[in-house]
Amino acid sequence: MSRWSGDSVRIGLESRTRGNTGHATAGGGTVSRTDRAAVEPVAALVAVLAVGAALGLYVAAIDDAMPEHDRPVAEATLDRIEPGVTVGGVVDPERLAGVTRLRYATTVEVRAGGETWRIDSGANAPALDDPFASDRIAVARRTVTVRVAPGRNVRGTLRAAVRR
């Protein structure tokens, strides 16, 4: 049951609310169940919405404080190149020559069965095994199945190095 603001409750004296069950208190008076603290449903919903909004603002503030979540350029390059060199889920190294329009200076390499196939975008293309590569060179690798001979497929690695 809920009370409205016109009801008066006095601890130690008799209350004028309906449904007084006559529970004894430490002060000697009686307090009914309806006299206990209760929250109206609308007030509870407003409180839940306020807490939810506060948590949402907190998460947004934390997300803005974090570093940018840019997708690495080398991973994006592999995602763009792999479908062009893959036939039926198997990388065909001969199709690597057909890869064109590389946006940045890029080197792409396929290694499998002791063989290596490589393409690059020009003279300033980065080396894949450069131990002194700067932070501006991103390298990504992916394990793939490679066709090394007609009817012979082996596990290999597709790698890309991109200089931005």
pLDDT tens digit sequence for 80-111: 889 989 998 999 988 988 887 777 888 899 99
Closest CA to 127 of 113, 99, 108, 152: 108
CB atoms within 10 A of CB 35: 20
Give this prediction's pTM.
0.54
Average pLDDT, 10 consecutive residues per value, the chain (164 residues) = 54 49 55 67 92 94 71 83 90 86 85 90 77 75 92 92 82
What residues contact residue 109 under an 8 Å CB cut-off, 6+ apart? Answer: 116, 117, 118, 119, 128, 157, 158, 159, 160
Q: What is the pLDDT of residues 43-54, one digit of tens each?
A: 899 999 999 999
Confidence at residue 13, expressed as pLDDT on a 0 to 100 scale: 46
Cβ–Cβ < 8 Å for 99, 117: no
